[in-house]
Structure 1
Amino acid sequence: MIKRRTFLKSTGLLGALPLLTPRIGWAMDGQSDNILITVFLGGGADGLNIIAPVGEGNYFDLRPTLALKAPGSGEGSSLDLDGFYAMHEAMGKLHTRFHSGELAVVQATGLTSESHSHFDSQSLMERGIASEQNILDGWLNRHLALQADQDSVFHAVGLHDSLPVSLSGDYPAISMSSIAEFGLNAPQVLELKLSETLSQLYNQNSLLDVEAGKALDAMAEMRYADPAQYEPENGAEYPDTQFGQHFRELSQLIRADLGVATASLALHGWDHHDNQTQVLPGILAELSDTLDAFALDMGADMDRITIVTMSEFGRRAWENSSAGFDHGYGSFMLAMGAGVVGGQVYGDWPGLGSNNLVFSGDLDITTDYRTVLAELLYKRFGQTDIATVFPDLIAEPELGVFTA
């Protein structure tokens, strides 16, 4: 007779069990049904050519061939934000949302670590720490552990190939590369039979029985979800890219009322050491068009959804000889949706003069990215134990990016 643990291991389900939790009404007493979506821009996004300080002459001196054109300077000119900053022309849809008050920008922000390593910087950022220490869980996981008891299977979701570090830890979270691929590691013709067999095997009250039941609940929710049949609302059209489809599937999960409270997504491809003008417009359009489509699709539900973006570091202030930019320091963040005090660029501008740049010619950081996230967690999600979520954060004044 086959043992239950052996059976789970052979189907690939055993390793997933600690990531799942039962579906019950997710909102605790006194908690809202607000949703937080984080978007990681992997590769080191060039904040200076995305949210360009066109009001400072040093910007054009440092980037004589790659600086954005000033607003109103003809074809290909940037999009004015506030007279000093301008947005890349490829972000037209987000530019509209900025001026409608739905989108805010934080400039000269980021991870206050001297590391210029993609892996190390992303790891620190997702763990919510500024320097290496014995903290392995993610900041989002710590936030959720402080707030929630037993919640929906889909309370914390990562749309990634594997669980992101930010969601890793004691609090249960799940990850999927797509809705269609979420389930047992078995051919489709066998999956239903395997699920039925597992349900019969795991109908007791032991810890393993309970955890197996949780996993099966999650798969049952997904078995009848067909992304191909999902029709976005309000004329929304998602880009036909992995990032666009991840947001499309996230909208399906939210509309299905599965209890999504936190979602993590990523858009990679920002490491532009050369030929930036050939690649930056495309990825910016993908980001802008996807977030715009999601907001359009969600409609009134955006009143409870807040999206925030971040990147592991920015790019060097001056262009290199390959028509690109090397790894830098300060970057930018976007915040869109519920509770965002939009239409403004936040953060103290450090300047681009030779005495203002840090390290080997990098934009300085005047706002720790965690200061932005701490304000968001406190005002939108009632998080008061910021010291646990961000253990080594040095208190800074709030920027006022968010309201309750």
Structure 2
Amino acid sequence: MKPLKTLFLKDDALHQVHHHSGDDRRNFLVDTETGETVKSIDQANRIALDRMMRKAGSRDVKRRTLLAGGAGVLSLSSLMLTEAAAPRYAYGAEPLGDGTVLVMIYLRGGADGLSLVTPYNDDYYNSHRKSTRKTLGMTGTYKLNSTFMLAPEMAGLKSAWVAGDLSIVHSVGIDNNTRSHFTNYAMADRSAPVQYKTGWLARLLDVTADNRSQFRAFSHASRLAGAFYGADQDLLAINSFDDFKIRSNALDTATINGVANRVAKAVGGELGNTARHTLNGMSEVRALAAAGYTPANGANYGSSELGRSMRDIAQIIKANKGVQVVTVDHGDWDTHRGQRERLNGLARELGDALGAFYQDMGPVRMQKVVVMTVSEFGRTTIENASHGTDHGAGNFSFILSGKATGKIAGGAWSGLKNSQDKDNAIHTDYRSLAAEVMSKGLGVDAARIAQVLPGFTPQPVGVLN
């Protein structure tokens, strides 16, 4: 394992010291100016900020003036410090397949896939779902086959299904499902044995050539997706194109931007590179925002946060900024109580946003785009006493692309009833789906997929041609 990289200001004031014994808790930071142990990333950032401001010669500027929407100089430095605690792995660099863009949408909280793609003929489902049950007789439903239907709130995806550009996988899950939001996502993000500390998307970037684009890979969210952790380059987390800018209550924004740039120039090492990367990203995003954007083909993204995110992503893809991988968060799917009202709104946001993106991109561009949804687990087949559902197992995943097979994949549907628990059983490992997206979607060869998903033998899923 390579030694951890040293993080420093130009006065060499802050070092990372690594002691490896198989226990990551023994990694720590030392302030070499005082000799004291730094006990948290937040404390390290406070020290770094104080010295950055000293270097910039601008003690009068308030800390808030350097914070940006989504991820600015300081929030990105925090991210970089956190990721530097993970070992790096070096791989050979080759082009990222055929230039297709991967858009990963995380349905955080454990989405109830049974309320999005419903097995309407399943007797067990119909008898155990009372307030949350979806039926074929509801206005707006769309019958997919003799087993499944799209719920009314997912009507935005009907046209993609009819055109054969939507595949759906039932019973997808994480190996060794723990029913824990955090543990399941950590396992999905890593998609590798525990000794690997990097995310699978980070390893995907490592095995493919860096096109030097500012936006080669980024998270359209308030934080970087865990699957990017450990990437050998600085990555942006952009909560909104409109808000990705220096924030301040002061009137002289030109001066504030000038101070931010002086800070970037005064800081050395990886922290300085991160600051410069962030400021350059802000400049390009601000130019995109100022240029405005009119979706094509009459697409309407609506006013939801997910809709705005997908609109931004469509704009930057069309602007030919070299985007290869983007992640998006769509949260609040943890519906333990009052599921019907909460989930219906979330499902409508998802269906409408994906439908608008598909319409906006058009059939030609969709040949070079793969959208994949993932959630950490499904929900129980049986309702609880609070008219909600609890943490379950197997879930549904959507693959939206001009390369889609247009089928429901995952093998023969065995039904929800089983003798063990109240779960939709897991039949497709999430890593097999990721492998097929890389191979048939992005054109990555099997040898490099083996580096991205070490120790795993993917099985065919059937979502992409």
Range of TM-score over shorter length:
0.7 to 0.9
What amino acid does structure 1 have at the position aligned with 2:369? Answer: I
List per-residue Cα deviations over 1:309-344 (Å, max 9, x = no partner): 011001111122222211101111000013211143
1:278 equivalent among 341, 361, 378: 341
Check if 1:145 corresponds to 2:203.
no
Query: Aligned to 2:390, which of 326, 337, 343?
Result: 326
Are 2:162 and 1:162 equivalent residues in the alignment? no
Alignment of 1:400 onto 2:456? no
Moved more, 298-307 or 155-164: 298-307
- Give the 3 Å change call, closer, same or farther, for CA 391–188 of structure 1 in structure 2: farther
| Partner Cα separation in structure 2 for residue 109 and residue 60 of structure 1 | 21
Shift of 1:210: 5.8
Q: How does 1:1-400 map to 2 (within 5 A)?
A: 6-7=54-55, 11=66, 13=73, 16=76, 31-69=97-135, 71=136, 74-76=137-139, 78-129=141-192, 133-171=194-232, 172-184=234-246, 186=248, 190-193=252-255, 195=257, 213-226=276-289, 229-299=292-362, 300-355=364-419, 358=420, 360-383=421-444, 384=446, 385-393=448-456, 395-400=457-462
State the Cα distance separating 1:214 from its structure 2 match: 3.6
| Alpha carbons of structure 1 residues 262 and 227: separation in structure 2 relative to 1, 3 Å | farther
Question: Aligned partners of 1:261, 1:296: CA distance in 2, in Å?
Answer: 20
- Structure 1 counterpart of 2:461, one-letter code: L
Give the SS at the match of 2:198.
coil
Amino acid at match of 1:63: R
Separation in 2, partners of 1:39, 1:283: 13
Q: Could you tell which deviates more after superposition, 245-254 or 185-194?
A: 185-194
Query: What is the CA–CA distance in structure 2 between the aligned matches of 1:176 and 1:351, rounded to whole Å?
Result: 41
Q: Report how far residue 64 of structure 1 moved.
A: 4.6
Indicate the larger mover: 206-215 or 154-163. Answer: 206-215
Residues 109 and 368 of structure 1 are in contact (CA less than 8 Å); yes or no, is this contact kept in structure 2? yes
* Maintained 8 Å contact 1:37/1:308: yes
DSSP 3-state at the match of 1:336: strand
Deviates more, 1:101-110 or 1:158-167: 158-167
> How many percent of aligned residue pairs carry the same amino acid?
29
Q: Tell me how far 1:80 sits from its aligned partner.
A: 0.8
Alpha-carbon spacing, 1:215–1:30, altered in 2? closer, same or farther (3 Å): closer
For the residue of structure 1 that corresponds to 2:103, the secondary structure is: strand
Q: How far, CA to CA, are the matches of 1:317 and 1:3 in structure 2?
A: 55
Q: Distance in 2 between matches of 1:210 and 1:117?
A: 36
TM-score, L = length of structure 1:
0.85
Change (3 A) 1:191 1:258: farther
Distance, in Å, in 2 between the alignment partners of 1:387 and 1:154 is 25
Q: Could you say if the C-alpha distance between residues 327 and 266 of structure 1 is closer, same or farther in structure 2, counting changes exceeding 3 Å?
A: same
Cα shift at 1:97: 1.5
Deviation at 1:56, TM superposition (A): 2.8
Once the two structures are superposed, residues 179-213 of structure 1 have per-residue CA deviations (whole angstroms, 9 ceiling, x without a partner) of 23324455685554455566678789x75676654
Q: CA deviation at 1:103?
A: 0.5
> Over aligned residues, Cα RMSD in angstroms?
3.1
Instruction: Tell me by how many angstroms 1:367 deviates.
Output: 0.4
Runs of 5+ unmatched residues, structure 2:
1-49, 68-72, 81-92
One-letter code aligned to 1:370: R
Shift in Å, 1:166: 1.4
Paired with 1:186 and 1:66, the residues of 2 have a C-alpha distance of 45
Distance in 2, Cα, partners of 1:47 & 1:91: 11
Query: Which secondary structure does the structure 1 equivalent of 2:303 belong to?
Result: coil
Q: Distance in 1 between matches of 2:274 and 2:339?
A: 48
Query: Aligned with 2:288: secondary structure?
Result: coil
CA contact 1:68–1:77 (8 Å) conserved in 2: no
Conserved in 1, the CA contact under 8 Å of 2:98 and 2:443?
no
Partners of 2:300 and 2:356 within 8 A in 1: yes
Distance 1:345 1:106 in 2: 5
Pair member with larger Rg: 2
Contact 2:219 2:238 in 1 (8 A): yes
What's the secondary structure of 1:236's corresponding residue?
Answer: coil
Q: How far off its partner does 1:381 sit? A: 2.2
Shift of 1:305: 0.9
Q: 1:134 and 1:185 mapped to 2: Cα distance?
A: 39
Please give the per-residue CA displacement for 1:32-66, whole angstroms capped at 9, x wherever unaligned. 32100000011111122221222332222232553
Aligned residue for 2:373, secondary structure, equals strand
Per chain length, whose mean CA-contact separation is higher, i.e. which structure has more relative contact order (CA < 8 Å, sep 6+)?
Answer: 1
TM-score normalized by the length of structure 2 = 0.74
Counterparts of 1:51 and 1:211, CA distance in 2: 42
Structure 2: distance between partners of 1:57 and 1:267: 31
